[in-house]
Amino acid sequence: MEAARVEALQAALDRGGRREARFERGELRLYESGVVVLDKIYLDEAAGRLAEAYWRWLLLSGPAREAERFASDLRRPPAPSDVPAAAQFIERVATLAEEVAAIEVDERALNEVLYGLYRLAPEERNLVENELGRRNVLTESG
């Protein structure tokens, strides 16, 4: 069963897309482009909030490429959930996520200005965006 989950995780990592961790109603889930990739991870409230923050931190730290290693990282929260550092970690990850989201909004707005200046058609915009994504993958892996 674990091998099948790692295989599904690898397929999701290979597809790419926006990743998100959510802890709701006692269940921790990992989403890829809105689709559940990992689920049925049940934790108490404190452990769940810490694991959710830790998964978010992993996702913000850079794209994972190898499922087995990523799955191993997901299993190791940074501290027990009952220590004061855990609450501080959760707060700092939330702040970091907000900052990253604000940067992404600004980046999209700047791209729109540039697309307008260069009068790019939708097809040309798609080429630019896909080339940037491809270049980032090559840079990260090479």
Q: Which residues pair with 24 in a beta bridge?
A: 27
Q: Tell me the Ramachandran region of residue 39: left when phi exceeds 0, alpha when psi lies from -120 to 50, beta otherwise.
A: beta
CA 68 – CA 30 distance, rounded (Å): 15
- For the stretch 11-64, pLDDT in tens is 888 887 888 999 999 999 999 889 998 899 999 999 999 999 999 999 998 877
Q: What is the DSSP letter of 78?
A: S
Which is it for strands 19-24 and 35-42: parallel, antiparallel or unpaired? unpaired
How far CA 30 is from CA of 34, 96, 102, in Å, comes to 9, 18, 22
CB neighbour list of residue 58: distance below 8 Å, 6 or more residues apart = 64, 70, 73, 74
**pLDDT at residue number 115:** 93
What is residue 39's three-state secondary structure? strand
pTM summary value: 0.73
Indicate the number of domains in the chain. Answer: 1
pLDDT band at 8 (very low <50, low <70, confident <90, very high): confident
b/e per residue, 105-132, with b = 16+ CB within 10 A?
Answer: eeeeeeeeeebeeeeeeeeeeeeeeeee
**pLDDT at residue number 2:** 80
- For the stretch 92-140, pLDDT in tens is 999 999 999 999 999 999 999 999 999 999 999 888 887 654 444 433 4
Expressed as residue numbers, the domain containing 105 is 2-141
- For the stretch 61-98, pLDDT in tens is 887 788 888 888 888 887 788 888 899 999 999 999 99
**What is the residue-averaged pLDDT of the chain?**
86
